[in-house]
Chain A
Amino acid sequence: MRFGFTEDQLLFQSTLRDFLAKECPPATIRALWESETGHDAALWTKLSALGVPGLLVPEAHDGLGRDEIDLALLLEEAGRAALCGPIVSTAAIGAPLLAEIPAPALRERWLPRVASGEARIAVGLPGLRFVSDAGDATLLLLPHADEVHALAPDAVQLVREPASDPARRIFTVSFTASSATRVAAGEDARRALATAFDRAALAAAAQAIGVADRLVDMTCAYARERRQFDVPIGSFQAVKHMLAGVSVRLEYARPAVHRAAWSVARGLAARSTHVSHAKLAATAAARLAARVALQVHGAIGYTWEQDLHLWLRRAWSLDLDAGGEGHHRARVANAVLADGARVGPGETFAGEA
């Protein structure tokens, strides 16, 4: 029993943090807002050189062969930099879905390309209306009834849905399913899609932690600097207590996300409950952080020019990604209120075996 990261994992995280601080400043994010794809090819090449898209790709397919614990740390950093796009759909959802469906030829063909940065995968998930980052994908994995279909970009019709978070690239996707496009069916497909949904929710949760962290950092920096009544506004209790309240919710969301990452990595029976808890806790913390950050910044935070809203919009849209609050709350409720549910002291890690 050890709830913590290795030196190696923390080094990987801080390397990514430094890299994104340098390579992906707010000006880069703003430029991506204006771009067609929401995707920066030069940045993607550099991320690929670090092994980021192939983080979960097995070493046999030229990936790093790391697990979801490392992935969670990576996605926290993506959130901290307000970076979204194919890094999430490809590295966190697409690549592992490809590895899990029983389609060896597809795997052989695409996983090495994911690892090298050549391929970007968009994934449709059951119950979700939109497909993220479909516009610039080289492969789409889409659900149809209880099947998974693999489609080339020219075989689908995409309708872009502009959103309030200009970093998001979401699409309504239609396509004609056939036996030629089907890559998984029945129980295999159901299991793979359910896992992919949990991966998407975990990815949103991990990004939300990074977003909230960044919002707190930015807001504290502003509160130290901004003076009113001849003192820094951060010296006022009203400001302190709002920010302390964010810290409390954030610090108790963080371990829920890390535990969910562990449960996904280990394929635990309680995986979906843990993921939903993580999604709820992390996005609630990010929403609260956004609310307080805006209030403490005051009118300057309400401008388009100030960079604050890069993170505000991420906080708001991550809440909507991969299943909203109601969906995730219902999943936890169904598990916790079920007959024979194991819910007391000593049960937290009882699903380990």
Chain B
Amino acid sequence: MTLTTAEAVTFHDLSGLMSRMTGAEKHGPAASSTLDALWVLYDRVLRVGPLSVEAADRDRFLLSKGHGPMAYYAVLAAKGFIDPFVLETFGRYDSPLGHHPDRTLVPGVEIGSGSLGHGLPLGVGTALGLRAQGLLDPAVWVLIGDAELDEGSNHEALAYAGSTGLDRLHAVVVDNQSATHGWPGGIASRFTANGWSAVTVDGRDHDALYEAYTQPHQGRPHAVVAVVEPKN
């Protein structure tokens, strides 16, 4: 596959971009569990691009679930943040693209992640920091996994953001049912019980994702639970 910035990139190009990292033709559900959720965010929702990665009023996307970042890198390459040729260096000593992302190495990557449970607290601080500087428009999005939600740090952030109505904060929970003990009562209920707006959608349905992402949620942070195929 060739790809230049002049060509319009579509969702169907992402598989080819991921192949440049793996060398494989096809990718299992685990590697691509976040692919649709990420694509719809970057293609239709986030107001950030390669030229605005330093702009104070950009939207922030924080990949908290740093595991399996190939889908993330593929979307960043498709949107022009990363040269597609760099994808082929994935995981090498001198590559900016590790198996967990490092924000200091990749333009457009807002946080370094890998250890689970750090994105949502960082997102809370980011939303507070923007508000304190009068930047009331930028949205902060944090992507976490259903198993990542096991980490207690998420619940500190979740409770605080809900109680204080931190409405520029958004969470996307990609649910591939990989949490060892599950979430009886559903993941969305953890958010709504804490004062969030929350909606659960098919994580492969782009229009449903878009509708969920753009649902009004005045005065409350907003969570979108994107359900995909079970990991196991």
Are both chains from one complex? no
Chain B interface residues (CB < 8 Å from chain A): none
